[in-house]
Amino acid sequence: MVLLPEVILEAVNVEFAFPGGARALKGVSLQIFQSKKTAIIGPNGAGKTTLFQHFNGILRPDGGKIRFAGRDISYQHASLLNLRKNVGLVFQDPDTQLFAGNVQQEISFGPLNLGLSKEEVRCRVEQVMSALEIEELKDKPTHYLSYGMKKRVALAAVLAMQPLVLICDEPTSWLDSRQTRRIVDFFQKINGQGVTIIFSTHDVDLAYTWADYIYVMKEGAVIESGAPENIFQNEALLKEAELTRPWLVDIGQILKKMGYLPRETSLPRTKEELYHNLMDGVCPR
């Protein structure tokens, strides 16, 4: 087994401007810890997608560097292939990721390129299709799918590579609530097996409940980072980053004020935790 450093992925003072365009990243530094779930949040245009495209070498910084597993990444073809085997990126827009004729071919492409046996590829493809409930789409042309279906196929194609680090750019946008739940449960499962997960989202409830650690970006810079409870109780930050408060933070704060939750306890992170705290003999005023 390969022993990996605690910081698996790192951006060190990354600067990037699109040709003839905006300075999208203005000295971004952040660290991603192995086997953790990290959320990157912030308003439209903050630079989240641009940063993700640096993490697997699609974009190359104008200044600063990206480090993976303790080493600066190299932009040689072979090194990039190796990086992308370990760091899988699911694009925000599936139409820019999907290219194969049908769903099965799309999901098989990555594992086939890893040189795996046909049997192993078939097994991986079946596994991810079943996990994401897309078996019935197997023979469908990808361009006939709904946007939400394309999102799930794009995710499946990356998952079939079994990356060490899974980066998902707004994984739940366009998904219905059942598919959102399913994907979050699946992420939870693979995270439990040691996969590091990085995701961007505009869903503050998802970020609050699910992330171990949060980076907040605005205008090409990281403006704050910390545990979800701290991020979402920082009123000045929420205003600056144009974020709303998750409903669990809202209700947790109200229940504390009313004396239904002890002031010294931390806020509930899940609906289940909230019910549990309320039922567990927390006394009314």
Ligand X SMILES: Nc1ncnc2c1ncn2[C@@H]1O[C@H](COP(=O)(O)OP(=O)(O)OP(=O)(O)O)[C@@H](O)[C@H]1O
Q: Which residues bind ligand X (CB under 6 A)?
A: 18, 21-22, 24, 42, 44-50, 92
CA–CA gap between residue 89 and residue 54 (Å, rounded): 10
The residue (of 29 and 117) whose beta carbon lies closer to ligand X is 29
CB closer to ligand X, 22 vs 238: 22
Contact flag: residue 38 with Mg ion (CB under 5 A): no
DSSP state of 144: G
C-beta atoms surrounding 279 within 10 Å: 8
Nearer to ligand X, 92 or 277 (CB): 92
Residue closer to Mg ion by CB (options 92, 104) is 92
Decide whether 10 or 169 has the Cβ nearer to Mg ion: 169
How far is C-alpha 66 from the geometric centre of its chain's CA atoms? 18
Q: Does 172 bind Mg ion (CB under 5 A)?
A: no
Question: 247 touches which of Mg ion, ligand X, none (CB within 5 to 8 A by kind)?
Answer: none
Q: How far is the CB of 96 from ligand X (least distance, A)?
A: 10
47 binds, among Mg ion, ligand X, none (CB under 5 to 8 A by kind): ligand X
Point out which residues pair with 213 in neighbouring strands: 38
Count of beta carbons in the 10 Å neighbourhood of residue 260: 16
Q: Is residue 215 a contact partner of residue 36, using CB atoms and an 8 Å limit?
A: no
Please state the closest distance from residue 202 (CB atom) to Mg ion, in A: 9
Cβ neighbors of 211 (< 8 A, separation 6 or more) are 37, 38, 39, 199, 228
Task: Return d(Cα 159, Cα 120) in angstroms, integer.
Answer: 14
What is the nearest approach in angstroms of ligand X to the Cβ of residue 160?
A: 25
* Minimum gap (Å) between residue 45 Cβ and ligand X: 4
For the CB of residue 20, give the shortest distance to Mg ion in the complex, in Å. Answer: 20
Return the SS3 of 279: helix
50 touches which of ligand X, Mg ion, none (CB within 5 to 8 A by kind)?
Answer: ligand X
Token digits of residue 60 = 């190359």
Residue in 49, 97, 179, 196 binding Mg ion, rule: CB under 5 A = 49
Longest Cα–Cα distance of the chain, Å, equals 65
* List of residues contacting Mg ion (CB under 5 A): 48-49, 92
